[in-house]
Amino acid sequence: MFKVPDNCFQITVSNCQFCLWFSNFYTVVLFNLCNFNKMHTKKESEPHRKVVVVGAGSVGATYCYSLAQSGLADEIVLIDRNEDLVKGQVLDLVHGQPFFPMVDIRAGSEEDYADSQLVVVTAGAAQKPGETRLQLLKKNADIVGGIAETVARQECNGVMLIVSNPVDVLTYVALKRTGWESGRVIGSGTVLDSARFRHILGKHCDVDVHNVHAYFLGEHGDSEFAAWSMTHIAGIPVDEYCKVCGKCPGWKKERDLIEKQVRESAYHIINSKGSTYFAVGLALVKITSSILRKQNSVLTVSSFLSGEFGIKDVCLSVPCIISDRGVLKIIDSRLSTEELNSLHNSADILRKAIDSLEV
């Protein structure tokens, strides 16, 4: 007669426990894999996120570098008249692909404009030490205007983001040359200036920059100004926060120094290293994110005004809601009398520059 081993029950229990453990482990792994696929697999309805960057210089290449690491784009196409420079920049970028999310990076041509969601124009003459942005005007208007016409001829349905300086005037030139609806052609404007403002204000008040909300408005240049009436720290208007902080006795004087420091930041950097590109590259990624992801972010891009703030037919920086179609809405904020006068002053300066081009 067959005899059952004494340890049979123990083996059976042990095996059952193992099966239960393995079943739970398999379920967890399968669940996580499903979630990973949901997060990283694009839906068929989602558009192909293609960004074309015109200009392979320091700003264009740094933007591509930052954009590649962000995981925002499916495809990054770099275009420049200097073909050797483009090839070198692309090769340098793709060698880093093991270290950032999957994205196709390549050199391109005019035909790539047709199906792009975003065309970022960084091409143009570089700003020299001591040279104002408006002095760059005549050199860059023809370059950017020609690019804008080419993009329009390719029947691009995306958004055009102008970065080349003087950005406000060139945004206006690009808008007129494309014939597009105004919201689809925007400039990087004072997004970077506002970031500088937040950084300097945060350092002064010893507060995390993420808890500082502040904007620089107007021309991206010498007539830009701080919108102090819209500046908040931890949700408190900055003038009221100053009383809570008690760090500096002469706040009005400190305000003037902070504003001057922001306004002159670019000149200091240019005098030291020739050009700016790290922070502007990150600012462009922020604008790109709002466009490709339809985030409806409030950003101070340069946009065409049609009566907002009492200003017409000029591009300058005011708070705008940015999404996949560019400017969804210009926020006609309530500014102080002094700030509104400063905004009109910027508009007058830019209008004279535009008129000099006979656009």
Q: Which two tokens stand for residue 94?
A: 């793709």
In degrees rounded to 5, what are phi and psi of residue 139?
-70, -35
The catalytically annotated residue of 48, 199, 204, 220 is: 220
Q: Which two tokens stand for residue 175?
A: 């808008």
Q: What is the dihedral of CA 161, 163, 168, 170, to 10 degrees?
A: -80
DSSP secondary structure of 160-205:
EEE-SSSHHHHHHHHHHHHT--GGGEEE-TTHHHHHHHHHHHHHHH
Distance, in Å, from the CA atom of 92 to the CA atom of 78, rounded to the nearest integer, reads 12
Instruction: Report yes or no: 276 and 269 within 8 Å, Cβ to Cβ.
Output: yes
Q: Give catalytic status of residue 220 as yes or no.
A: yes
Which residue has tokens 């010893």?
A: 206
Residues 6+ apart with CB under 8 A from 75: 48, 49, 50, 51, 103, 104, 105, 106
The residue count of the chain comes to 359
Distance, in Å, from the CA atom of 202 to the CA atom of 210, rounded to the nearest integer, reads 9
Q: Which two tokens stand for residue 133?
A: 């942005």
Instruction: Report yes or no: 116 and 51 within 8 Å, Cβ to Cβ.
Output: yes
Distance, in Å, from the CA atom of 158 to the CA atom of 231, rounded to the nearest integer, reads 33
As annotated, the active-site residues are 220
